[in-house]
Amino acid sequence: MKNMKKAFITGRPGIGKSTVLKEVVNVLKNKGWKIGGIICPEIRRNGIRIGFNIIDILSNTSGILASIDSYNGPRIGRYYVNINNIEKIAIPAIKKSLEEAHLTVIDEIGPMELLSEKFYNLIKEILSIDKPILCVIHKSLVKEFSLKFPNIPIFEVTEGNRSFISNKILDYLLR
Q: Which amino acids are annotated as binding site for ATP, given as ranges? A: 11-18, 103-110
3-state SS assignment for residue 95: helix
3-state SS, one letter per residue, for 98-164: HHHCCEEEEEEECCCHHHCHHHHHHHHHHCCCCCCEEEEECHHHHHHHHHHCCCCCEEECCCCCCCC
In angstroms, the CA 46 to CA 115 distance is: 28
Q: Residue 87: phi, psi to the nearest 5?
A: -80, -30
Q: Tell me the binding residues.
A: 11-18, 103-110
